[in-house]
Structure 1
């Protein structure tokens, strides 16, 4: 790694007045450095250098600015550098302001940096606080949902950013404000075929919002009608009985023979987790049973080949066909579990996970 003298010399090249070819060589070298753990560790101890690189994201040379953004993407992927970026360099206000510019060339890079910074709760809180002060979550959703907002950027990584932000209760409450129509704007993107990143980000956001059982009735009501948006990606072309079809939400009735299911197993699993969360309350379980969710899950389980997704589907089916919990236990999210029972359940989950991984390994070996 560089000595203090070499680092100082490198820093001296990272100024707006430095000759472009020298600047380009310096940023290119640091880009390579930022791709390794050792390089990130070195840059963590050099906040002045990180600050100089951030300043060069405004360099007249597109190539130099692009290199600097890629360096910041690499650094933001390392949690140990988050405080340097957020507190020492104070990147957030500048990045959020530039994100609002519909002509800004590097908005996709900014989306990725913000997505990286919000993976961990501590920095996520800082990002959300700054976002609310400078932009507002409503505005972020508006930008995300306005295709072509920026002709130079696709902004798909705003999806994972929203998903990360909704790990915070305050972000979920803001998104699910009943007096605004913000949450509802995200729903159609569960079927967005042009980007698995955008689609997965939205599904992750919806799944996180389903953790708040106090909003379940609203989510399932006509005001939101979340159920068809969670079910349709899991539904296939199989023929159901007339009685089963008639009980389904209208969008899921009599689907065509060429109906395809969600292709990404991680997204399928998140959709199932969202549905399972909606069954935590008695009203939620009744709504899913009344809307004939079981036949969709029955056919899905027959089709599914991923063992982890199939296991998630089985948990949901057990709730849909099982008996109602005894009085006082209706809200599964509020049930107090004794410590010894909780410990046993965790051990059972760990064993189940191990069995699933072994089964998946065996299947892969058989296929190869």
Structure 2
């Protein structure tokens, strides 16, 4: 016999809208923690019901159903079930790009939670054909979006839509966590580090400016992790570091730098990237130590090759890290500074010796993800 709560879950597929609304009203509070197991009743039929409700026109129905799906992602089996529905995953991705969507931000959270699943890589292949898909998929404003690939459109939402500039209901900040997780995969890293056909721009270059958006921890944290994950392929380091159009290094260094770093001598200051030579007096480091750690891990990854280490030395990265180390109050920051200093200040190995990698992250597997990116976002 089903329990009272399981009976309530079964009402999600009632033919009567009022009954479904009552069920949603009562079930949101049971969608997180141990009680979430009730949604496994009847072979997880509730998941399909919630996915159908997320396509409704009612703002309340959509908001509540997506909120429940967001919270259910904390359960591995339920998250896998949600993400395994490719049609829903495609609908969700395109619906975020609907500029009239009042639930876009909660949908961004759902997409970022689903990105813990390997199946998320399918988002890279979602392409629409306006001659066939306009009725099947949510509307797309062609005055804003020039690409038929959903990944390009999500990138446009994130870059152009911050501060509610595209959609008055959304900032799209949580897409940064989605970007970080999809960059765990080689195909994802290729997307971020290669020029895209629709605009000829390297996507990661669009994200760099947000490394210092200090009013949005979510945006900065996700972007920092996306940059770091994009550096897992060491054969690209030289290209990324020396691409003047990309100008990667200053955006990794600026968040770890303060105008109060006073003991950098004139010669080292001259060798710094131009963006770091004349900092404004109010320039401070990123206020979140965990984000500083991500940037330091990016520097460690760039130390993987001899060419990378030599480039970092030539740009006075060691004096900057030394200043950070002197002022660091966080143990993790201090430890990472020590590792960078040891790598940059030691002599290079003999050409006949096997070169030791400074960080095991350089050999990351396709399914690797950082513990910092593993948290599932829940909505009260």
Q: TM-score range by the shorter chain?
A: 0.7 to 0.9
Separation (CA, whole Å) in 2 of partners of 1:152 and 1:111: 12
The C-alpha deviation readout for 1:84-137, integer Å capped at 9, x for no partner, is 2133584202101211211111111111111111124x2333444447997343
Which one has a larger percent helix, Structure 1 or Structure 2? 1
Report what 1:177 is aligned to: 194
Report what 2:167 is aligned to: 150
Separation (CA, whole Å) in 1 of partners of 2:307 and 2:94: 43
In angstroms, what is the RMSD of aligned CA positions? 2.7
| Cα 1:289/1:335, change in 2 over 3 Å | closer
Separation (CA, whole Å) in 1 of partners of 2:149 and 2:214: 28
Q: Can you give the 5+ residue segments of structure 1 that lack an aligned partner in the other structure?
A: 337-368
1:76 aligns with 2:98: no
Q: Helix, strand or coil: the match of 1:323?
A: coil
Any conservation in 1 of the 2:39–2:46 contact (CA below 8 Å)? Answer: no
Report what 1:191 is aligned to: 212
Q: Tell me the number of residue pairs that the alignment of Structure 1 and Structure 2 aligns.
A: 332
Report what 1:161 is aligned to: 178
Report what 1:232 is aligned to: 254
Separation (CA, whole Å) in 1 of partners of 2:326 and 2:256: 12
- Larger RCO, structure (CA 8 Å, separation 6 or more): 2
Question: How far does residue 332 in structure 1 lie from its aligned partner after superposition?
Answer: 4.3
Mapping of residues 71-220 of structure 1, within 5 Å: 71-88=68-85, 90-120=87-117, 122-130=118-126, 135-147=149-161, 148-178=165-195, 180-181=200-201, 182-220=203-241
The C-alpha deviation readout for 1:164-207, integer Å capped at 9, x for no partner, is 00000111012211464222111111111221101111110000
1:3 aligns with 2:19: no
Matching residue within 21, 27, 34 for 2:31: 34
Separation (CA, whole Å) in 2 of partners of 1:89 and 1:335: 36
Report what 1:326 is aligned to: 350
> Structure 2-normalised TM-score?
0.80
Any conservation in 2 of the 1:281–1:332 contact (CA below 8 Å)? Answer: no
Any conservation in 1 of the 2:211–2:220 contact (CA below 8 Å)? Answer: yes
Structure with max Cα Rg: 1
| Cα 1:294/1:78, change in 2 over 3 Å | same
| Cα 1:5/1:263, change in 2 over 3 Å | closer
Question: How far does residue 318 in structure 1 lie from its aligned partner after superposition?
Answer: 0.9
Question: How far does residue 326 in structure 1 lie from its aligned partner after superposition?
Answer: 2.4
| Cα 1:167/1:234, change in 2 over 3 Å | same
Q: Helix, strand or coil: the match of 1:243?
A: helix
